[in-house]
Amino acid sequence: MPEPRPGPLSRLNLNWLGLLPFALFALLFLILPTMKIVVGAFQTPDGNFTLDNIYGLNTESIVSSYWVSIQLSLITAFLGCLIGFAMAAAVILGKLPGKVRSGLMTFSGVASNFAGVPLAFAFLATLGPVGLVTIWLRNEFGINLRAMGFNLLSFWGLVVVYLFFQIPLMILMIAPALDGLKREWREAAEILGASASQYWRMVALPILFPALLGTFALLFANSFGAIATAFALTGPQLNIVPIKLYAQIRGDVLGNPHLGYALAFGMIVITALANGLYIWLRVRSERWLK
């Protein structure tokens, strides 16, 4: 360092001072607000410690909202992983021209960010009651989607809409792992007489497994915290946790502010678990991808 070196203690102090603005920002707008929720979940309105708020979550309506949210996130994460993996594998391993690959990556970047309110509108215009595909199927083929039990404003409708940002996210996240599959591994397996399915079952998938499961956890958390798309699509009726929390913040529908804290705390716990799993598995999978 070009400047004169003071004693170790004062130098250390000065260096930490450089982080002060960031630390202050993180404290005020990230850590303290979150702590407020976490602490509030374990407090009575008078400020005493209690577990009643957590127990209070055990009502039929709240438990079912968590259950619907978890199911929605699991299903969209699973289908997103499956379809995204197939598409990414097709482009990266399927000997398709390089232009196709860069095109798909660019589009995935756009589509994974095209969530929220406009996405709901796009699907309403397509699969809604008077949407393009709904009308087309009815006029050309006599297929009435609604009579077949498909409703865009339902659980499965929401699954289809969520897949629009889950699949591209999967493609973006899994592409580096697929690139990391070395050609030598496949050639070695083939020389030893492995069939394509044996190669996938015994070589490629075990290597990709941490990456696959990690991305699954990330997709889960991604859809668990999402609200805007569902809200724009179905309004405040759909019984998923973020929408319930939204209604609680807006008008204390649960009739107990501290139950709202507990509801939010439950969300943090679930997304933290999913993300913790993701980070742990990513560290494991990166061992192979160097």
Q: Which is nearer to other proteins, 204 or 221 (CB)?
A: 221
CA dist 233 and 47 (Å) reads 38
Give the residue from 211, 202, 221 showing the smallest Cα distance to 284. Answer: 211
The backbone torsions φ and ψ at residue 107, rounded to the nearest 5 degrees and listed phi first, read: -65, -40
DSSP E strands, 34-173? none
Q: Taking CA 214 as the corner, what is the angle to CA 210 and CA 219, rounded to the nearest 5 degrees?
A: 150
DSSP 279: H
CA dist 162 and 148 (Å) reads 21
Q: Which is nearer to other proteins, 154 or 271 (CB)?
A: 271
CB of 243 to other proteins, least distance (A): 9
Q: Which is nearer to other proteins, 206 or 235 (CB)?
A: 235
CB of 137 to other proteins, least distance (A): 12
Q: Which is nearer to other proteins, 213 or 241 (CB)?
A: 241
Q: Which is nearer to other proteins, 25 or 156 (CB)?
A: 25
CB of 2 to other proteins, least distance (A): 5
CB of 178 to other proteins, least distance (A): 12
Half-sphere exposure of 62 (CA within 13 A, CB side): 20
DSSP 31: I
CA dist 46 and 87 (Å) reads 55
CB of 206 to other proteins, least distance (A): 21
